[in-house]
Chain A
């Protein structure tokens, strides 16, 4: 892995209009992504983690050029044959955008709705090749066979329709489709959360194999910390449109600093208990204590992005270690060494 940067996101802001009333007047803005900056190195598996509504998918969509950001910049640096690298969606013409899209592909969460039910597997896999004018008909057929083999599906499946496959098989088709144009960057948006546990492992292994075989950059979006721990090199934890903590897998999972990351890690139900059942009981109590200390506000759970932006830390209402400072000021992302960033006043004091 080299340290060349593949995606450079700076101060990204994406706001959605909140409409109301009879005429659908815009009466507010939902700040889905609110000042997010991070850089993903080439050949790295970078994970965006967070609960629903935290803005992780929106961030990914902006990187893919599917949503126009309100502010901030996204630089994409995928070496193409022309040699000029830095790409920015805004500054490209249609042809340039298409060329860039060829280099980056997405795997969606729901394998049931992301495949066209009226297309056969063959036409699903051929479509990206036709759009990007890659190869003659013969070459395309060969490429399709190759793709199927790579994701572990039989050639006899080529003329079948999506409904004939199980969830895991459909996700394999989705992955094969994303690989068709040999992209340098794959965005996987919750690729395993709709799958059964026994299938989940198969798909994760497949994604890992493909990533290392083609030295792709993988942006992995998930709410499942156990899956992320397994696959990611670096992780950014998001909450309410902001990055709370960012670091390597060791830094996040063994030395997490932010109270939100700690809460997330504590909340994952685990089965490995025998030697530490007491510890787990203590952890559970910890959660209960967190709840009761903050429990006076039931709207804790409500991810109300629409409420007037409170000053200060967005995690304040749920935070077990909050102070007056957190209410008044927004904590900046501070470097704790070794690329470990955390936005929390408490951890800065310690």
Chain B
């Protein structure tokens, strides 16, 4: 059973009268109670993909050109805005990277958690407060009463992110999208929050999309992984498979460039060049100018996603034809 199916998603942004193709034909399927990791460097389209699922792309300049997002027998992209609003925050919720900017500084945390509960569940003020406090203790806040009446600036980054998680979980969503949930936090806090997310997912019967540039986090959290580059899926595999035997040259390079904390290398492997800007995506394979295994064909012919060994593993590279 799948929880979410994305087919051929295309998103463009108009920048200076040009069209930047931020997401180019992304498709994936997310099983019930599974975690999908979307990995890639900045500008690869991973956050735009997530925002498109929620239909939160600022438009203009953004536009969802094509594609389908199936969730609970509905195509989210063709729903009227009114119905979409009843899904957002209720059936699908999202956690953002920066807990300082995504909380409203002029309302107390309690006020903001209660908003979703009163809106989606029709609770009264008191009911929402009682339920909200329970949520806060569930996400590991030991003094829920104090946190409930605090303003965001009075709390630390880790606490704020816990508030965000409580808010996202308040309506028991079926799908949680976490966009770089721990990037702004210290490592020890990050470890605690990831542990919390894992535990909550197990108990709440919920699917999760985890967007991050940190491959270590994906290795510890996700069941399946897609690697994106220049708006496209380069490789899609089960997490263990991907890390044990990466196939796409980009994935291979990416794994090699990360310094490991377990050992010291004399020199880090480098991917030459830099990520292409969206207005200037190379012809053929988008990775070919930086690819150590590129051949003449890669410059001209855009590789399709190849199915490897008849398994569910997909690789966008001519090498695996």
Distance (whole angstroms) from the CB of B239 to the closest CB of chain A: 10
Q: Could you say which residues of chain A place their CB within 8 Å of the CB of B274?
A: 166, 168-169, 198-199
Q: Is A18 in contact with chain B by the CB < 8 A criterion?
A: no
Q: Is B142 in contact with chain A by the CB < 8 A criterion?
A: yes
Known interface pairs A196-B41, A201-B271, A301-B156. Does A226 touch B260 (Cβ–Cβ under 8 Å)?
yes
Main secondary structure of the interface of A (DSSP, over half): helix
Q: Is B126 in contact with chain A by the CB < 8 A criterion?
A: no
- Return the contact of A303 from the options B41, B156, B187, B217 (Cβ within 8 A): B156
Q: How far is the CA of A284 from the CA of B220 in the complex (A)?
A: 9
- Return the contact of B261 from the options A270, A298, A302 (Cβ within 8 A): A270
Q: Could you say which residues of chain B place their CB within 8 Å of the CB of A288?
A: 195
Q: How far is the CA of A265 from the CA of B188 in the complex (A)?
A: 9
Q: Is A274 in contact with chain B by the CB < 8 A criterion?
A: yes
Q: How far is the CA of A82 from the CA of B222 in the complex (A)?
A: 60
Task: Assess whether A266 is in contact with B140, with CB atoms less than 8 Å apart.
Answer: no
How many residues does chain A have at the interface if contact means C-beta atoms less than 8 Å apart?
A: 47
Task: Assess whether A269 is in contact with B41, with CB atoms less than 8 Å apart.
Answer: no
B277-296: contact bitstring with A at CB < 8 Å (1 yes, 0 no)? 10000000000000000000
Q: How far is the CA of A269 from the CA of B155 in the complex (A)?
A: 25
A243-280: contact bitstring with B at CB < 8 Å (1 yes, 0 no)? 00000010001000000000111111111111000001
Task: Assess whether A270 is in contact with B268, with CB atoms less than 8 Å apart.
Answer: no
CB-nearest residue of chain B relative to A303? B156
Q: Is B258 in contact with chain A by the CB < 8 A criterion?
A: yes
Q: Could you say which residues of chain A place their CB within 8 Å of the CB of B186?
A: 51-52, 223
Task: Assess whether B142 is in contact with A270, with CB atoms less than 8 Å apart.
Answer: no
Known interface pairs A166-B274, A229-B261. Does A266 touch B42 (Cβ–Cβ under 8 Å)?
no
Q: How far is the CA of A273 from the CA of B240 in the complex (A)?
A: 9
Q: Is B243 in contact with chain A by the CB < 8 A criterion?
A: yes
Task: Assess whether A267 is in contact with B216, with CB atoms less than 8 Å apart.
Answer: no
Q: Could you say which residues of chain A place their CB within 8 Å of the CB of B140?
A: 291, 295, 298
Q: Could you say which residues of chain A place their CB within 8 Å of the CB of B42?
A: 196
Q: Could you say which residues of chain A place their CB within 8 Å of the CB of B271?
A: 198, 201-202
Q: How far is the CA of A200 from the CA of B257 in the complex (A)?
A: 8
Q: Could you say which residues of chain A place their CB within 8 Å of the CB of B240?
A: 273-274
Task: Assess whether B216 is in contact with A291, with CB atoms less than 8 Å apart.
Answer: no
Q: Is B190 in contact with chain A by the CB < 8 A criterion?
A: yes
- Return the contact of B275 from the options A166, A253, A302 (Cβ within 8 A): A166
Distance (whole angstroms) from the CB of A271 to the closest CB of chain B: 4
Q: Is A296 in contact with chain B by the CB < 8 A criterion?
A: yes
Task: Assess whether B187 is in contact with A51, with CB atoms less than 8 Å apart.
Answer: yes
Q: Could you say which residues of chain A place their CB within 8 Å of the CB of B214?
A: 269
Q: Is A94 in contact with chain B by the CB < 8 A criterion?
A: no
Q: How far is the CA of A266 from the CA of B187 in the complex (A)?
A: 9
Q: Could you say which residues of chain A place their CB within 8 Å of the CB of B204?
A: none
Q: Is B267 in contact with chain A by the CB < 8 A criterion?
A: yes
Q: Could you say which residues of chain B place their CB within 8 Å of the CB of A205?
A: 267-268, 270
Known interface pairs A52-B186, A198-B257, A263-B188. Does A249 touch B220 (Cβ–Cβ under 8 Å)?
no
Q: Could you say which residues of chain A place their CB within 8 Å of the CB of B270?
A: 198, 201-202, 205
Task: Assess whether A230 is in contact with B187, with CB atoms less than 8 Å apart.
Answer: no
Known interface pairs A196-B42, A197-B41, A198-B275. Does A268 touch B216 (Cβ–Cβ under 8 Å)?
yes
Task: Assess whether A269 is in contact with B257, with CB atoms less than 8 Å apart.
Answer: no
Task: Assess whether B258 is in contact with A271, with CB atoms less than 8 Å apart.
Answer: yes
B184-200: contact bitstring with A at CB < 8 Å (1 yes, 0 no)? 00111111101100000
What are 25 of the A-B contact pairs (CB < 8 Å)? Answer: A52-B157, A166-B277, A169-B274, A197-B215, A197-B257, A199-B275, A201-B268, A202-B270, A226-B259, A230-B264, A253-B261, A264-B187, A268-B261, A269-B194, A269-B216, A270-B219, A271-B218, A271-B243, A271-B255, A274-B240, A280-B220, A284-B220, A291-B140, A298-B143, A301-B188
- Measured CB to CB, the residues of A under 8 A from B are 51-52, 166, 168-169, 196-202, 204-205, 208, 223, 225-227, 229-230, 249, 253, 263-274, 280, 284, 287-288, 291, 295-298, 301-303
Further 14 A-B residue pairs, CB within 8 A, beyond A199-B274, A205-B267: A197-B41, A198-B253, A199-B275, A201-B258, A223-B186, A226-B259, A264-B187, A267-B187, A267-B188, A269-B219, A270-B260, A271-B258, A284-B195, A284-B220
